[in-house]
Amino acid sequence: MAENKSLDYIVRGLQVLFATIIMGTDGYAIHVFRGHNDYVDAPVYGGDATLHVGVPAAWSFLMFCAVWTVLIVVFHFVEPGFTSRPMIGYVGITAEAVAVLSWLAGFIAVAVNVSTTSACSSGQNSCAALKASTAFGAFEWLLFMVTGIRTVMSFFNNQKRFRSS
């Protein structure tokens, strides 16, 4: 994204800021939820059963997406030193594609999980933090759509420049 460095810095800065907010809100929601035991009557198994309900996997996946975002942003700030190697461009495109798909899957999974009654049961104070994480995750996905398109366009423009010289 060498065409407009100031826009690149602003968008990448927003990506890191939103990832930090998501790490905080999602981490808080995970901490507050803590898991609990459900006692169920299971006549098939010969009596009562105890099931441990842990933190939903979607919440942890959203945390992974936030950490992955920080790594991608660091990579894209180091990447300009290696512009003479086309393989670095492919790595950048792949990282952006993984980020776009991860954020899409992550915020949708948490949004679906928040809408269920088990994730936001009475006595759990994690719903507001999860809703904030979901909203920031959606904005993060939009930011990665912008940077992903710009990265692909920049890569192909550089490929044309390499071929013509």
10 vs 5, 30, 88, 146, 147, CA distance in Å?
9, 30, 22, 12, 11
Buried b (16+ CB within 10 A) or exposed e, 125-163: ebeebbbbbbbbbbbbbebbeebbebbeebbeeeeeeee
Residue 37: strand, helix, or coil: strand
Confidence at residue 1, expressed as pLDDT on a 0 to 100 scale:
46
Where are the alpha helices (H) located in 34-126, listed in sequence order? Answer: 57-78, 86-115
CA geometry: angle at 120 spanning 114 and 126, to 5°?
A: 90
Per-residue pLDDT of the chain (165 residues; tens, 9 = 90+): 445 788 888 999 999 999 999 999 999 888 887 766 666 666 666 667 666 667 788 889 999 999 999 999 998 888 776 666 667 778 888 999 999 999 999 999 999 888 765 566 545 667 888 889 999 999 999 999 999 998 888 877 766 555 555
Confidence at residue 163, expressed as pLDDT on a 0 to 100 scale:
55
The one-letter amino acid code at 138 reads: A
Confidence at residue 2, expressed as pLDDT on a 0 to 100 scale:
47
Confidence at residue 90, expressed as pLDDT on a 0 to 100 scale:
84
Confidence at residue 153, expressed as pLDDT on a 0 to 100 scale:
86
Task: State the residue for tokens 């992974």.
Answer: 64
